[in-house]
Amino acid sequence: MSKPLSDHDRRKQISVRGLAGTENISALKTDFNRHLHFTLVKDRNVATRRDYFFALAHTVREHLIGRWIRTQQHYYEKDPKRLYYISLEFYMGRTLQNTMVNLALENTCDEAMYQLGLDMEELEDMEEDAGLGNGGLGRLAACFLDSMASLGLAGYGYGIRYEFGIFNQKIVNGWQVEEADDWLRFGNPWEKARPEYMRPVQFYGRTEQTPDGVKWVDTQTVLALPYDTPVPGYRNNYVNTMRLWSAKAPCDFNLKDFNVGGYIQAVLDRNLAENISRVLYPNDNFFEGKELRLKQEYFVVSATLQDIIRRFKVSKFGSREIVRTDFSKLPDKVAIQLNDTHPAMAIPELMRILVDEEKLEWDMAWDVCVRTCAYTNHTVLPEALERWPVDLFAHLLPRHLEIVYEINRRHLERVAKMFPGDHDRLCRMSLIEEGGQKRINMAHMSIVGSHAVNGVARIHSDILKATLFKDFYEMEPTKFQNKTNGITPRRWLVMCNPGLAEVIAERIGEEFIRDLDQLQGLRNFVNDEAFIRDVAKVKQENKLKFAVHLEEHYKVKINPNSMFDIQVKRIHEYKRQLLNCLHIITYYNRIKKEPNKQWTPRTVMIGGKAAPGYHTAKMIIRLITAIGEVVNNDPVVGDRLKVIFLENYRVTLAERAIPAADLSQQISTAGTEASGTGNMKFMLNGALTIGTMDGANVEMAEEAGEENFFIFGMRVDDVDAMEKKGYNALEYYNRLPELKQAIDQIAGGFFSPKQHDLFKEIVNMLMNHDRYKVFADYEDYMKCQEKVNALYKNPKEWTKMVIQNIAGCGKFSSDRTITEYAREIWGMEPTMESLPAPDDM
């Protein structure tokens, strides 16, 4: 019998990783050794693993630089329309492997490292995640950047270079504990500081009427220092730019008016200005109206708009000679996409620049502004909508408040003209919410100041038009669009699951990586015995690999033949991790009741971070870990049920877990999850979905065929009807004995023997004020889970259903999403042409 292949030898056989020519390997080893030599300090002659990682990163980065310069030169010569994607979050994860995939360097690097006695995966594991995002919204921005580059669009990502990204999550005695994410501690090999493009950003001060127009004076200045990161397209030699701003105090900060002896304090106070880019706010789907957060939002917008206008004006590559001054042409050369309302200050800021600085008439400036900007809405949850207090605005951004009032005055005039006498509508549609503390509704501002507004899945966009933005839709129906989210198949298939990418490529070729619709071709192989076997084998290998990782990390023995049942996402009541918990407890109780029955074995994994101030979410984590403590140590259950809380869920952990999943849980209350993108990643990687008809699940079921999807629960209409009639949790509790048993166990201390009332708040919430109606979907969820168990017992039929799901994934490529944004919102056309490689010059 031949001995099993080593990981290295197995990787070598995967063609989607790129061909490794002998010359390339030799040249790469030379470059690597040169970088290693310069990386090592004179007094250290022994290299650490981190030294090797940095040497490899710098070697790979060299392959980007020529393409990066060439791409920017190409844009300069062609002068295409440019897209500016402004987001407070870019959840990039690691860069090394993604860069190697997109430049077809993976096998070359792997072989070179192997010949030098180094292990590629060990080096990749040295890299820190760039965790500059909370979850879906930030990761979507990262996928979009990959697609823009892969489609040859002149797209720029603009955001903040947070010194501390999303916190690292530790589980201590079952509780979440946060740790600062000092991701820049060892330096970041992918970024390049660009001090020559530093921009001043103003805060505070007051406004003055002058013969020359309004002036904003007596402001405090903070400098925005840009750091550029290259974003390579997939094997097309395009390299776009993500530009992140870091806050710097000016040299004279607090020194102009310092009193004798105040010098030291003035220098120390520079920190106050630089705090703007210190830390990412760790809230997902929740608005926290803090001054520092508003400062962050204006900081990124002001610096970015200055950069956009500088680039619009300049003529020659690398020169600052001004040629363009006709701002009526701005919308022909510039598109700005607002990723949620966080960068909505771009609208009044662009108006301030055009009116106060460039001296345009208001009507002209407004026309330019609206034609340039577009807004993506990401949520309908009321607690997530940004509503800034007017007095905070007046203090921090006095000129912008005046502009917002003027935008609102003209807007309400238009409303009154269209709907005469409808006073209620004027109140509902105003940008300013009266009553109690006056607030600015940033979603209303974003709609009024944009030419296109989109939701992120069909059902979400329909809900926006029917409820949240109904008045605005009635006034301007053509403004509202849908752009269903997508994911990049480069990171989320080729990179994280090369085994699956390879068995697909063996059947339909490699073009699907740039045109995911080609996965439809797999429908021809649904009954192909060899393909069914190959798909199942890849899944089993991924599960074994992940099981090893889990056993190392959690000291729990994993049954690799059990169903890997995974729910990973931010912890939030609307995502209903509690419904998952109730299924686990009920399944546990059933096994205990009939221990000799043939139960389908499951390893249930739940992972995700809770916002530090979200008490209920932290209690949900404690409940999950408590259930695990009981279930995992019960000898009657054995390896038929295990419960693991996946600590510190992040991009890099997703890349390990998702390829190993059998079942993906997408169980939010219908009408609450705008889209979801994790759902798409699981589908593409050969998991089946149990889910509600919410977000993109609806379209996923449509593409795969509803018969290949485990759908349960209330639809949006059922939820609405229940809202009207009133949801009564007690009725379900009394009617469903298994539900009652589970709740009584939680309430009675079965899972918290040392503190019987530990979970009383959770029980009280579920029984008395559950906005998300967990009990209403419990019965149907349990029935649906039984269908899942039954199918899992028939591996061949399970795998055929998996193949149908993979074949239906084409729509959920971010390439399709970005192509729609480009054509229908930005007025740009993607290209499948490549640029010449740097060596073809």
- Residue with the two structure tokens 């008045």: 471
**Tokens read off for 497:** 């699951």
Catalytic residue among 94, 400, 681, 800: 681
Q: Which of 29, 63, 479, 569 is catalytic?
A: 569
- Nearest-angstrom CA–CA distance, 562 and 792: 9
Of the listed 570, 583, 640, 773, which one is catalytic? 570
Sheet order of strands, 432-433 included: 387-389, 439-441, 432-433
Q: Is there a contact between 592 and 745 (Cβ–Cβ < 8 Å)?
A: no
Which pair of tokens denotes residue 260?
């004798």
787 is an active site residue: no
What lies within 8 Å, CB to CB, of 478 at 6+ separation is: none
- Exposed/middle/buried for residue 663 (C-beta within 10 Å: 0-12, 13-18, 19+): buried
Of 336, 328, 404, 313, the C-alpha closest to 363 is 328
Report, in angstroms and rounded to the nearest whole number, the Rg of the chain calculated over CA atoms: 28
3-state SS, residue 40: coil
Q: Is 756 a catalytic residue?
A: no
The number of C-alpha atoms within 13 Å of 43 and in the hemisphere containing its C-beta is 0
**What percent of the residues of the chain are helix, what percent strand, and what percent coil, each to the nearest 5?**
50, 15, 35
746 Cβ neighbours under 8 A, 6+ residues apart: 585, 623, 759, 762, 763
Q: Evaluate whether 548 touches 554 at the Cβ level (below 8 Å).
A: no
Helices (H), 238-334: 263-268, 270-274, 291-313, 330-333
The one catalytic residue among 399, 575, 618, 650? 575
Catalytic option among 484, 677, 689, 692: 677
The H or E element spanning position 748 is: helix 737-748
- Whether 378 is catalytic is yes
Catalytic residue flag (residue 569): yes
DSSP bridge partners of 604:
565, 643
Longest dimension (CA), the chain: 91
Count of CB atoms situated within 10 Å of the CB of 506: 13
Q: Within 10 A of 502 (CB to CB), how many other CB atoms are there?
A: 19
Q: Which of 675, 632, 634, 643 is nearest to 566 (CA)?
A: 643
* Rounded Cα distance, 818 and 144, in Å: 7
264 exposure class (CB count in 10 Å sphere: 0-12, 13-18, 19+)? exposed
**Nearest to 782, CA basis, from 590, 642, 609, 516:** 590
| Marked catalytic residue, from 378, 490, 583, 622 | 378
Strand-pair partners of 826: none
User: For residue 751, which amino acid is it?
Assistant: F
**Distance of CA 45 to CAs 42, 56, 113, 315, Å?**
7, 18, 19, 49
Give the per-residue SS3 of 116-167: CCCCHHHHHCCCCCEEECCCHHHHHHHHHHHHHHHCCCCEEEEEECCCECCC
- Alpha-carbon distance of 804 to 802, in angstroms, equals 5
CA distance 686 to 693: 20
DSSP H or E segment with residue 736: none
The upper half-sphere exposure of residue 98, i.e. CA atoms within 13 Å in the direction of its Cβ, equals 27
Active site residue 410: no
570 belongs to the catalytic site: yes
How far is 293 from 622, CA to CA, in rounded Å?
A: 29
Nearest of 222, 227, 238, 34 to residue 148 by alpha carbon: 238
User: Which of these, 801, 775, 729, lies nearest to 583 by C-alpha position?
Assistant: 775
Alpha-carbon gap, residue 17 to 428, rounded angstroms: 55
- Tell how many helices (H) and how many strands (E) occur in the chain: 34, 25
Catalytic residue positions?
Answer: 378, 569-570, 575, 677, 681
